[in-house]
Chain A
Amino acid sequence: MEIFEIVTYFVLLLLVSTAVRVVTTSNVIHAAISLVFTLALTSVLFLLLSTEFVALVLVLVYIGAVIVLFLFGIMITRAPLGKNAELDNDKNKKLGAAIAGSIFFLFSYILVNGFEGEVVITSGSSTELLGEILLSRFVFPFELVSFVLLAALIGGITLARKDEALIDEDQV
């Protein structure tokens, strides 16, 4: 049990430090790579809480697909690779830190006081049961989400495509 706690605290510490790096680094690629580490450590945390299916979905969808999309976005919008002093809006820095800090202290005050002495007892694997519940009781939202994905796909193609009509107008 002792080693389990040590591993958990280590993962939590690394999680916060990589997340800090995502929002403070002045290099866009480093920010995206730090987000990969943040998500991987979140996945480890989910594994420690014995929710292995969600951990694997996180790795597949986020690290496999979303980060690749982000890297595409960074490359296509020609954000200057390497160090970039223009990346942050320095005027907002103090205000942003004040707002984020106050939100953090408010949340942690409430959470620490509200869940004092609560412990989690992790059980074994639950993937089989999760699949049964997902495809019986939650089958309607499950199908609905697939339509949302289809709509996002069509919307993304429509938005990112070059508008032929506009190009014709320019030429005429």
Chain B
Amino acid sequence: MIVQPVLVVAAALFSLGIYGILVRRNAVMVLLSIELILNAVNINFIMFDTMLADVLMQGQIFTIFIITIAAAEVGIGLAIVLMLFRNRQTANINEFDLMKW
């Protein structure tokens, strides 16, 4: 299997995630875009792990840790969004300007 197409697709997923973060207005949609970025990173890790044929399989182990941390991040992120929604009655990030100077 040739390496380049997979890496280019991972780069495409990463930039689509960046686009989603910049453009989306709903905070839950921004969290979805962050998941897309983490997924691109996972693809890169697995690809390089298989390519280098690492004896310790550090790419796969790191990917498992990333998936775990991502699950924790989503839990906390959605709790924060929920809290903001309860206080402001909206989930639009352009209306959260409490810390804006």
Given A20-B16, A39-B39, A66-B74: A111 touches B57 (CB 8 Å cut-off): no
Q: What are the residues of chain B within 8 A of A76 when measuring CB–CB?
A: 82, 85
Q: Which residues of B contact A23 (CB under 8 A)?
A: 16-17, 19-20, 23-24, 33, 36
**Chain B: which residue is nearest A9 at the CB level?**
B5
- A 35-74 to B, binary, CB cutoff 8 A, 1 in contact else 0: 1001100100110111101100110011001100110111
| Chain B residues touching A, majority SS | helix
Instruction: Find A152's partner among B39, B72, B83 (CB 8 Å cutoff).
Output: B72
Q: Does the CB pair A70–B32 fall under 8 Å?
A: yes
Does the CB pair B68–A149 fall under 8 Å?
Answer: yes
What is the distance, in angstroms, from B45's C-beta to the closest C-beta of chain A? Answer: 9
Q: Does A159 contact B (CB under 8 A)?
A: yes
Contact B1 A8 (CB under 8 A): yes
| A150-172 interface (Cβ within 8 A of B) | 151-153, 155-156, 159-160, 162
| Contact yes or no, B39 A69, CB < 8 A | no
Chain B contributes a number of interface residues (CB within 8 A of A) equal to 69
A121 to B47, CA, bound (A): 11
**Complex alpha-carbon distance, A93 and B45, angstroms:** 30
Give me 20 other A-B pairs in contact (C-beta within 8 A), A22-B16, A73-B28, A145-B65 excluded. Answer: A15-B9, A19-B12, A28-B29, A35-B32, A38-B13, A42-B43, A49-B50, A61-B71, A77-B81, A78-B85, A87-B24, A111-B4, A112-B8, A115-B4, A120-B2, A151-B72, A152-B71, A156-B76, A159-B79, A159-B83
Q: List 21 A-B contacts (CB under 8 A).
A: A12-B5, A19-B12, A23-B17, A49-B50, A51-B49, A54-B67, A61-B71, A70-B31, A79-B26, A86-B92, A88-B25, A103-B18, A107-B14, A111-B11, A115-B7, A116-B4, A118-B2, A120-B3, A145-B68, A148-B72, A156-B75
Shortest 7 CB-CB distances between A and B: which pairs?
A96-B22, A152-B72, A23-B20, A100-B19, A107-B11, A104-B15, A159-B79
